[in-house]
Amino acid sequence: MTLPYRLRIGLSRVGGLVLHILCLPFDLLVGYPFVLVTTQPRTWRFDHGILLGVWRPWIAARWRYSTTLGHGHGRHERHLAGHTDQHERVHTRQGEDAAILAWTIAGLVLGVCGLAAWPLALGLVCGSYALLAVAHLGALLRGTHPYRDAEIERSAYGQTDPIETGNAGRSWLDVHEERAGR
């Protein structure tokens, strides 16, 4: 069953607002300051609630990748167009999901332990995106590459990377595992 167009649009706007509110503690403490400190002020702009900026030259010389922390994206100049931006937005959505999980766990902690556990609950909510770091740890513990083989990266690449001409009909995961010799 498909929802009527106006209902879908209304739900997506309300849902988007709720997700931004749930992510606000992390964004105010980590995501936005990360962009404000590491990127060039003339490049700052908001796009659908995400603060974007291009690395300062001294960072761009050492770090050639784009990086997402919450609703803050630091980008290399060579990644201003194309699928990299879409890839980073997948990470933002993954972080929003992590925020839902963090708020749920924080609520359970407060429900079980009482209000005296508020520092732990606050730490969970403010560090919600750290829940995504376990994907990198999991890849490392499996003996695979901690970045390329982390499930959050596989998901982001799988959702955004075009299938190469020679691999039409095969998933990114199939191609990746074949190249890795698995």
Q: Which amino acid is at 170?
A: R
Backbone angles phi and psi of 50, in degrees to 5? -105, 125
The mean predicted confidence, pLDDT, of the chain is 86
13 pLDDT band, cuts 50/70/90, is: confident
20 pLDDT band, cuts 50/70/90, is: very high
Cα Rg of the chain (Å, integer) = 19
pTM, full prediction: 0.81
List, in order, residues 6 or more apart from 182 with CB less than 8 Å away.
none
For 111-145, give one letter per residue: b (16+ CB within 10 A) or e: eeeeeeeeeebeebbbbbbebbeebbeebeeeeee
As a whole-number percent, the residues of the chain with pLDDT over 90 amount to 55
